[in-house]
Amino acid sequence: MRYSLEAYVGFLIFTILIDFLLHRLIHNDREQPLSRFAFPLGTFWFISVPAFYIASFSTIFALIQTAESALIYVVFQWLLTSYLAIYLPKLFYYLGHRLTHHAIRIKSRFAGNGQFKKMNEGRYPTISRKKFLSQVGILMASAPFISLLFGVMKGRFAFSKRYTKLSFPNLPAAFDGLKIVQISDLHLGSLNANYKEMEEAVQLINDEDPDLICFTGDLVNNFYEETIGWEKIFSKMKANVGKYSIMGNHDYGDYSKWPSKQAKADNLRKIKEAHERLGFTLLNNSSELLECEGEKIAVTGVENWGHPPFPQYGDLQKASKGTEEIPFKLLLSHDPDHWDAEVTKKFDHDLTLAGHTHGMQFGIEFKNFQWSPAKYKFRRWAGLYNIDKQYLYVNRGLGYLGMPARVGMPPEITVIELTRGPLGTEPM
Ligand SMILES: [Fe+2]
């Protein structure tokens, strides 16, 4: 609640500020006197567009607290997309215009003439400084618009497989070569019946012929109704040994006020049943032992455990009961903060699989370079991490929340192969 209030206040300040600055910029930059109608018309757009978004987001912010249906999330995500499609270009236009303006001023000062020099030495038709700045602004503004458009049209379903090979000396020989596929953060309500696209993801998973499929939480945004109809897709996922899942912070119905305790409890019960209906064995602070040729490994799943405001329902002590003597332990825990806070400090799980961050659905990843705004919010936000003998893998999510788009952070299917050998990663 506190975080959504902060986001709402941030949205108000940003919207009013950017429109005010842009209006002033365009007003000051005009080269010819405006016609009788142009100024009132321009002012109308600079008032009506922010007024529409402020009114709409305020209504949603008020309604979402007591919403009883997943529909409000769908309305919110498309409203947010249209807002970003307008306001990100506005921001980039302003930044492009102002930064170039200051760069030219500094350059002119060093050149000693204090004037803007024509850029093209007479080879092309000359343009004024104001026109040049406005064209730079338009060029800058088109970048976020095109990226967002691509992220909505293609990026959100451009599934990407990421392969990791991990070697552990304590992995029983019978499990050498165990192949795990991890998926996370489906947020079914956001997918909005895009069954065909997710069928493709299921096919990509089955193509791996996995031994285990692990789903690391956030099946829904908030409501069990979101799961209806998805059984026909996810029941097609095949694993040789088993399919396991855990609860994520969104799976408890904590993101709305319910008319009664009973209504919330019913929603929670039905979400848990949905994990099973979709074909997963839900590990709710519990473990399963897998046996092969007389050797055993443990798969443990905890309920959500995160730093506030995220809930701490997870009880790893309870979940790990009965696994004390097992030589190799796999842990599913939705929130990667749990790994630093508890797993590496008090427990000996060899490999933890987490999700939750979505890589903020936006970033740049190229070879060993990784950047996303997620890195400023989460200590472990994507990929593989290691402390001593313990490993953590953070999946970037298969679905999306809020913005129905992914830009530079494609929906992920993680494929991990476990081998017996000296501790470490191996090239695939
Ligand atoms: Fe999530």
Condensed to tens digits (0 to 9), the pLDDT of residues 69-126 reads 778 888 888 899 999 999 999 999 999 988 888 888 787 777 655 455 555 555 555 6
Identify the residue with better confidence: 127 or 370. 370
Residue where a domain stops, chosen among 130, 153, 176: 153
DSSP code of 279?
Answer: T
Question: Are 378 and 407 in the same domain?
Answer: yes
Give me ligand 1 centre to Cα 23, in Å.
37
* d(CA 218, ligand 1 centre) in Å: 5
Indicate the number of domains in the chain: 2
Distance CA(209)–CA(199), nearest Å, equals 16
Q: Is 109 helix (H, G, I), strand (E, B) or coil?
A: helix
Alpha carbon of 255 to ligand 1 centroid (Å): 13
Ligand 1 center to residue 259 CA distance, Å?
A: 25
For ligand 1, the distance from its centroid to the CA atom of residue 147, given in whole angstroms, is: 22
The CA 190 to ligand 1 mean position distance, Å, reads: 11
The proportion of the chain whose per-residue pLDDT surpasses 90, expressed as a percent, equals 68
pLDDT tier at 378 (50, 70, 90 boundaries)? very high
**Same domain, residue pair 189 and 313:** yes
Domain end position, chosen among 124, 153, 182 = 153
CA of 10 to the centre of ligand 1 (A): 22
Q: For residue 372, is pLDDT > 70?
A: yes
Q: How many angstroms does the Cα of residue 250 sit away from the middle of ligand 1?
A: 7
CATH number, domain containing residue 344: 3.60.21.10
- What is the rounded (10 degree) CA torsion for 385, 388, 390, 391? 20
Residue 303 is predicted with a pLDDT of 97
Rounded to the nearest angstrom, the distance between the alpha carbon of 401 and the centre of ligand 1 is: 7
From CA 15, how far away is CA 321, in angstroms rounded?
52
| Domain boundaries, position 341 | 160-426
Q: What percent of the chain has pLDDT above 70? A: 92
Which residues are CB-contacts of 211 (< 8 A; sequence separation ≥ 6)? 178, 179, 180, 239, 240, 241
Q: Beta 390-394 vs 351-354: how paired, if at all? A: parallel
72 closest CA partner among 56, 83, 88: 56
Same domain flag for 44 and 171: no
What pLDDT does 124 receive?
53
CA of 254 to the centre of ligand 1 (A): 13
Lowest mean pLDDT, pick from 161-165, 174-178, 229-233, 306-310: 306-310
Is residue 14 within 8 A of residue 54, CB to CB? The reply is no
Least confident of 3-7, 28-32, 46-50, 82-86: 28-32
Could you tell me if 116 and 171 lie in one domain?
no
pLDDT at 68: 75
Same domain assignment for residues 21 and 145: yes
Burial of residue 350 (number of CB atoms within 10 Å: 0-12, 13-18, 19+): buried
Same domain, 84 and 218: no
Distance 52 CA to ligand 1 centre (A): 29
Task: Spell out the residues 6+ positions from residue 272 whose beta carbon is closer than 8 angstroms to its own.
Answer: 247, 282, 284
> Ligand 1 center to residue 16 CA distance, Å?
30
Q: Which amino acid is at 51?
A: A
pLDDT of residue 126: 66
pTM for the predicted model, two decimal places: 0.86
Q: Which of 388, 206, 379, 216 is nearest to 300 (CA)?
A: 216
Q: How many residues does the chain have?
A: 428
Given 153, 178, 196, which residue is the final one in a domain?
Answer: 153
Residues 137 and 183 in one domain: no
Judgement on whether residues 170 and 125 belong to the same structural domain of the protein = no
Residue entry with tokens 């001593």 = 388
The verdict on 59 and 101 lying in the same domain is: yes
264 CA to centre of ligand 1 in angstroms: 20
Same structural domain for residues 121 and 172? no
- Domain shared by 200 and 238, yes or no: yes
Instruction: Give distance in angstroms: CA of 311 to centre of ligand 1.
Output: 13
Q: Name the pairing type of β-strands 412-420 and 160-168.
A: parallel
In angstroms, rounded to a whole number, what is the distance separating the alpha carbons of residues 79 and 65? 17
Which residues are within 8 A (CB) of 305 and not within 5 positions of it... i.e. 6 or more apart? 311, 312, 313, 314, 316, 333, 334, 335, 337, 338, 341, 342
Same domain, 207 and 228: yes
What's residue 33's pLDDT?
59
